Amino acid sequence: MRIVTWNVNSIGARLERVLAWLELHQPDVLALQELKCTDAAFPLMEIQALGYEVATWGTGRWNGVALLSKVGLADITIGLTDQPEYEGALEPRAIGATCNGVRVWSVYVPNGREPDHDHYAYKLEWFAALQATVDAEMKASPALPLAIIGDFNVAPTDEDVWDIAKFENSTHVTPAERTALTNLQSIGLVDHMPRALKGAPYTFWDYRQAAFGRGWGMRIDLVYANAPFDAAITDCWIDREERKGKGASDHAPVVIDLTGAP
Q: What is the mean pLDDT of residues 178-199?
A: 97
Rounded average pLDDT over 188-193: 98
The pLDDT tens digits of the residues spanning 57-103 come to 999 988 999 999 999 999 999 999 999 999 999 999 999 999 999 99
Report whether pLDDT(159) > 70. yes
The conformation of residue 97, written as its DSSP 8-state character, comes to E
| Counts for the chain of helices (H) and strands (E), in that order | 6, 15
pLDDT for 169 equals: 87
Residues 6+ apart with CB under 8 A from 260: 1, 232
- d(C-alpha 112, C-alpha 94), whole Å: 16
pLDDT of 49 over the 90 cut: yes
Name the strand (E) or helix (H) holding 25: helix 11-25
Residues in the chain: 262
Q: β-strand 190-191 against 254-258: which pairing, if any?
A: unpaired
- The reply to whether omega before 43 is within 30° of 0 (cis) is no
Which residue, among 18, 51, 52, has the nearest Cα to 35 in the 3D structure?
A: 18
Q: Is the pLDDT of residue 262 over 80?
A: no
Residue 120: CB partners within 8 Å, gap ≥ 6?
112, 113, 114, 171
pLDDT at 7 over 90: yes
Residue 190 pLDDT more than 80?
yes
| pLDDT digit string, tens, across residues 21-45 | 999 999 999 999 999 999 999 999 9
Per-domain residue ranges for the chain?
Answer: 2-258
Contacts of 176 (CB under 8 A, 6+ apart): 124
Average model confidence (pLDDT) for the chain? Answer: 97
- Asked whether 250 and 111 are in contact (CB, 8 A), the reply is no
Please name the CATH architecture into which domain 2-258 falls: 4-Layer Sandwich (3.60)
**Is the pLDDT reported for residue 261 higher than 70?**
no
Torsion of CA 138, 141, 143, 148, to 10 degrees: -40
pLDDT above 90 (res 156): yes
Query: What pLDDT, on the 0 to 100 scale, is given for residue 22?
Result: 98
Q: Say what the pLDDT of residue 62 is.
A: 86
pLDDT band of residue 196 (cuts 50, 70, 90) is very high
DSSP 249: -
Query: pLDDT tens digits, residue range 116-151?
Result: 999 999 999 999 999 999 999 999 999 999 999 999
pLDDT value at residue 162: 97
Please name which of 241, 235, 201 lies closest in space to residue 221, comparing C-alpha atoms: 201
For the chain, give the percent of residues with pLDDT over 70: 99
